[in-house]
Amino acid sequence: MLFDKFQTMAGFQAELAERKVEPFGAVTEKILSATEGVVQGRNVILAGTNNYLGLSFDPRCIKAAQDAAARWGTGTTGSRLANGSFTEHQALETEIAQFYGKDHAIVFSTGYTATMGMCATLAGPGDVILLDADSHASIYTGVKLSGAEIIRYKHNNPEDLAKRLRRLGDRANQTLIIAEGIYSMLGDVAPLQEIAAVKREYGGYLFLDEAHSMGVLGETGRGAAQAAGVEADVDFFAGTFSKSLGAVGGFCVSSHPELEAIRFCISSYIFTASSSPSIIASTREALRIITAEPQLRERLWENANRLYDGLKSLGLPVGPSASPVVAVEMENRSRTIDCWKALMEAGVYVNLVIPPASPSTNFLLRNSVSAAHTSAQIDTIIAAYASLKTTGLITSTQAA
């Protein structure tokens, strides 16, 4: 039957309902600050929001959004190619291009449509795409739509990337290579110096998704490529406004003038209503803030290191290095659900991630850190995890 393929998920939902746990789509009833809210009737520390710089609740961004709504209305009611291209959209494109030191930029309605649309369009039938095996779902969706030959290289493995490019021979210099700055599930950073060196040796075009690294890494917050000193080797930078910039939307910037022609070939750009003026305005203000206030990144990394070191000292299996994304891997689904519920009861909201969203067969308790978190809040999160060990809900053997 048509619906048979959904039975596994239906069974999982029934199990969650029976246990009175709602880790997916948990309803936030009230936002108290950038780091606190009321979720499912419980006051919690928000440790699963990706609000890396805390700008979603910044009064300057809120005022910019309010002023824009009063001036421009609540929505554009059309795509950029129809009636939805306002001067504010063009201004943001200019500013995001200047931020990256590039000549061309496209602003999309969501980060998903940005990466999916670019990956679906840059390469096509007869071309080759080499993508990291742990790439985001938006990338996988895009490359499938492209019609290009798709080859996966081992996660964060430049040697495997080089091996696969060698096998392509003369086709290597026309290959689209895809990587991410920070990977969203475990928070690991791509070895971009090595990946860039492989690209220089064999050729090809490098597409880098900086969704979780923009505003987080680099001297001026441009991301992982800036931190690695390889921006000149990246042909296309993509990212989102829904993480460090505290809004919603996406972008692609490039020095290639062809990006202006590519714009008119991207289905997710052509057929999607443009972002509302309030979103564009708050994003522009947030971009100015991250440029002018590097202390936000410094504070973010203080918190990230504090949480990572705290969880690691408990013997929990966290990622390979500190990052604003700190995930605890577990092997048992039922135990992971119990731990998520216990964390909620302790006043800490985190993300529960299950396969195939997780990069392996393991389950994740995924924490995201904000510059807006206080040291006391970080310590409360660590203490909540410590209580999981005290009560026996989690041990080193039950984790990954």
d(CA 188, CA 345): 29
Provide the whole-model pTM. 0.94
User: pLDDT category, 398, cuts 50, 70, 90?
Assistant: low
The identity of residue 306, as a single letter, is R
Is domain 10-46+294-390 given the CATH code 3.90.1150.10 in the classification?
Answer: yes
User: Do 10-46+294-390 and 59-292 agree at the fold level?
Assistant: no
Per-residue confidence (pLDDT) for residue 399, from 0 to 100? 56
Peptide bond before residue 356 is cis, with ω within 30 degrees of 0: yes
What is the three-state SS of 161-215?
Answer: HHHHHHHHHHHHHHCEEEEECECCCCCCECCHHHHHHHHHHHCCEEEEECCCCCC
Mean pLDDT of 71-76: 96
Instruction: Specify the fold of 59-292.
Output: Aspartate Aminotransferase; domain 2 (3.40.640)
pLDDT tens digits for 40-67? Answer: 999 999 999 999 999 999 999 999 999 9
Are residues 181 and 223 in contact, defined by beta-carbon separation less than 8 angstroms?
yes
d(CA 24, CA 89): 33
Mean pLDDT of 306-335: 93
φ/ψ (deg, to 5) at 232:
-65, -20
d(CA 347, CA 341): 10
> In 10 A of CB 258, how many CB atoms?
10
Q: SS3 helix, strand, coil % of the chain, rounded to 5? A: 45, 20, 40
pLDDT tens digits for 339-356? Answer: 999 999 999 999 998 887
Per-residue confidence (pLDDT) for residue 20, from 0 to 100? 82
Angle formed by the axes of helices 277-292 and 59-72, nearest 10°: 150
pLDDT tens digits for 163-192? Answer: 999 999 999 999 999 999 999 988 899 999
User: pLDDT category, 26, cuts 50, 70, 90?
Assistant: confident
Residue 124: half-sphere exposure toward Cβ, Cα within 13 Å = 5
Q: Where are the domains of the chain?
A: 10-46+294-390, 59-292
Q: Dihedral of the CA atoms 385, 387, 393, 394 (nearest 10)?
A: 40
> In 10 A of CB 83, how many CB atoms?
12
Token pair, residue 19, equals 């246990």
